[in-house]
Amino acid sequence: MSDEDTRAYKVVVNHEEQYSIWLADREPPNGWREVGKQGSKQECLDHIKEVWTDMRPLSLRKQMEQS
C-alpha cells in the first residue's frame, strides 16, 4: 500500500462544471473551487460519479440548449 492511499482528498470543480480530486492539504489550482466533499480518494471519486452525470462542459450544454 502506498502513502497516497492514506491521504485525504477533496472534490473540486471548475467553471465548466468539470470535477476532479485534489489533495486536501493543498489549495485548489487556479480556476478550480472546492465543493465541500472531503475524504479518501475512493470516497471523493464515488461522490464525483454520483453528481457528475453529464460529462459535457457547461458551455457546450448551454450552446446545445439554445439550438
Q: Pull the grid cell for residue 36.
A: 465541500
Class of the CATH domain delimited by 3-66: alpha beta
CB 55 within 8 A of CB 19: no
Task: Find the Cα–Cα–Cα–Cα dihedral 16, 18, 19, 25, rounded to 10°.
Answer: -40
Q: What is the pLDDT of residue 9?
A: 98
Q: What is the pLDDT of residue 57?
A: 86
Which residue ranges make up each domain of the chain? 3-66
Q: What is the pLDDT of residue 63?
A: 84
pLDDT by residue for the chain (67 residues), tens only, comes to: 555 578 999 999 999 999 999 999 999 999 999 999 999 999 999 999 999 999 888 888 888 889 8
